[in-house]
C-alpha cells in the first residue's frame, strides 16, 4: 500500500466509524506512522509503506474504530503554544481551555514575579503554559490522581518548565492553601452525571474523576472558593473554566463570597466558558 492509498484508506475507515474530521486525522496518522513532515509527504506519496508501518496503521485504525482518542494513540498533543505528553489517566487538553490561559495571561501582563496556583491540574497544560509564558513566575500545580501527576512531572521536563512544580493533593482538603498567590486557576471536573451520556464517544476513555463535578456540576467550584479564597492576595484573580450553562451560577457563588469585577468569556462555539473574579 502506498502512502497515498493509505491516506484514502484511513479517511474512509474513519468516516465509516463516524469520525467527523477524517481528513485532518488521516493526515496526522500518516505523519505519525511514517515520521515524515507535511512537505516530505507531498514528494513521497507514491512510496510503499513498510510492513512495520502497515501493521502500526492497522493497530491504530482498530483503536480509532472503537473511538479510542487519537491524542492517547499519538501520546502527544498541542495545546495553546506548546506540546504536551498525554495518555490514559489524564484529561486531554482541549482548545476551549486555551481561552482560560489567555485570560490568565492578560491578567499576568506586567505583574512582576507572579505566584500562580493551578488546581485539578491534570496534564499540567494550563500551569505549564503560564510558567513558560512568564519565566519569572512560580507555578504550583495540585493534582489528586497519581496517573495524572506523573504526566505533570513528565511535561515539566518535556517543556522545560522548571519554574513549575506538581504536588499531590486534593482541592477539597485545601492542599497548598497555606501560601498566597496572585492567580489561582482551575479547570475542575464540571459535568453533571446526567450529561455524561451526551459527551463524545472518545470522552468515555477519559478518567471520570476528571469530568464529573457532583450532582449539579458545581462541587469543585464551591470547594475551591471556600478553601482557597484566603490564599489569594488582595487584588488577586481566580479564573475558572466552566461547563455549559454554569457561568451564571458560578458567578453567583463568587459574588456571594465577596469577589468583584467578575467577567464571563465565551469560547469559539459561543458557549460561556471562562469566569474570572478579583478578590476585593
Report, in Å, the least distance between residue 119 CB and ligand GLN. Answer: 11
Q: Which is nearer to ligand GLN, 57 or 120 (CB)?
A: 120
Report, in Å, the least distance between residue 187 CB and ligand GLN. Answer: 5
The torsion region of residue 113 among left (phi > 0), alpha (psi -120 to 50) and beta comes to left
Q: Which is nearer to ligand GLN, 8 or 199 (CB)?
A: 199
Strands 259-266 and 272-279, how do they pair? antiparallel
Q: Which is nearer to ligand GLN, 187 or 231 (CB)?
A: 187
Identify the DSSP state of 179: S
Q: Which is nearer to ligand GLN, 92 or 156 (CB)?
A: 92
Report, in Å, the least distance between residue 191 CB and ligand GLN. Answer: 5
Report, in Å, the least distance between residue 50 CB and ligand GLN. Answer: 37
Q: Which of 41, 182, 181 is nearest to 107 (CA)?
A: 182
Report, in Å, the least distance between residue 39 CB and ligand GLN. Answer: 34
Report, in Å, the least distance between residue 203 CB and ligand GLN. Answer: 5
Please report, as ranges, the residues that interact with ligand GLN according to CB under 6 A.
Answer: 91, 94, 187-191, 199, 203, 211
Report the C-alpha gap between 2 and 258 in whole angstroms. 63
Q: Which is nearer to ligand GLN, 134 or 221 (CB)?
A: 221
Q: Which of 171, 167, 166 is nearest to 188 (CA)?
A: 171
Cell of 150: 506523573
Q: Which is nearer to ligand GLN, 40 or 170 (CB)?
A: 170
Q: Which is nearer to ligand GLN, 36 or 271 (CB)?
A: 271
Q: Which of 168, 177, 189 is nearest to 246 (CA)?
A: 189
Q: Would you call 184 exposed, middle or buried from its count of C-beta atoms within 10 A (0-12, 13-18, 19+)?
A: buried
Cell of 231: 490564599
Report, in Å, the least distance between residue 37 CB and ligand GLN. Answer: 31
Q: Which of 94, 185, 100, 103 is nearest to 139 (CA)?
A: 185
Cell of 55: 501493521
Q: Which of 101, 96, 153, 94 is nearest to 126 (CA)?
A: 101
Amino acid at each position: 500500500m502506498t502512502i497515498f492509498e493509505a491516506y484514502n484508506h484511513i479517511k474512509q475507515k474513519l468516516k465509516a466509524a463516524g469520525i467527523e474530521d477524517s481528513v485532518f486525522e488521516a493526515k496526522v496518522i500518516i505523519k505519525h506512522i511514517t515520521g515524515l513532515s507535511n512537505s516530505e509527504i507531498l514528494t513521497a506519496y507514491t512510496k510503499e509503506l513498510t510492513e512495520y508501518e502497515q501493521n502500526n496503521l492497522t493497530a491504530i485504525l482498530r483503536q480509532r474504530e472503537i473511538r479510542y482518542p487519537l491524542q492517547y494513540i499519538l501520546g502527544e498533543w498541542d495545546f495553546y503554544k506548546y506540546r504536551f505528553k498525554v495518555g490514559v489517566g489524564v484529561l486531554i487538553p482541549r482548545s476551549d481551555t486555551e481561552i482560560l490561559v489567555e485570560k490568565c495571561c492578560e491578567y499576568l501582563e506586567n505583574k512582576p514575579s507572579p505566584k500562580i496556583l493551578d488546581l485539578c491540574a491534570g496534564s499540567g497544560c494550563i500551569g505549564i503554559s503560564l510558567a513558560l509564558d512568564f519565566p519569572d513566575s512560580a507555578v504550583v500545580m495540585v493534582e489528586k490522581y497519581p496517573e495524572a501527576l506523573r504526566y505533570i512531572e513528565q511535561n515539566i521536563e518535556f517543556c522545560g518548565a522548571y519554574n513549575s512544580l506538581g504536588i499531590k493533593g486534593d482541592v477539597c482538603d485545601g492542599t497548598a492553601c497555606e501560601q498566597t498567590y496572585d492567580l489561582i486557576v482551575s479547570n475542575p471536573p464540571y459535568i453533571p452525571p446526567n450529561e455524561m451520556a451526551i459527551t463524545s464517544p472518545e470522552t468515555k476513555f477519559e478518567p471520570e474523576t476528571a469530568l464529573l463535578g457532583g450532582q449539579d456540576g458545581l462541587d469543585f467550584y464551591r470547594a475551591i472558593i471556600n478553601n482557597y479564597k484566603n490564599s489569594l492576595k488582595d487584588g488577586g484573580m481566580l479564573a475558572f473554566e466552566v461547563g455549559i450553562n454554569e457561568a451564571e451560577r458560578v458567578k453567583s457563588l463568587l459574588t456571594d463570597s465577596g469577589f468583584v469585577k467578575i467577567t464571563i468569556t465565551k469560547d469559539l462555539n459561543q458557549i460561556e466558558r471562562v469566569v474570572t473574579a478579583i478578590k476585593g
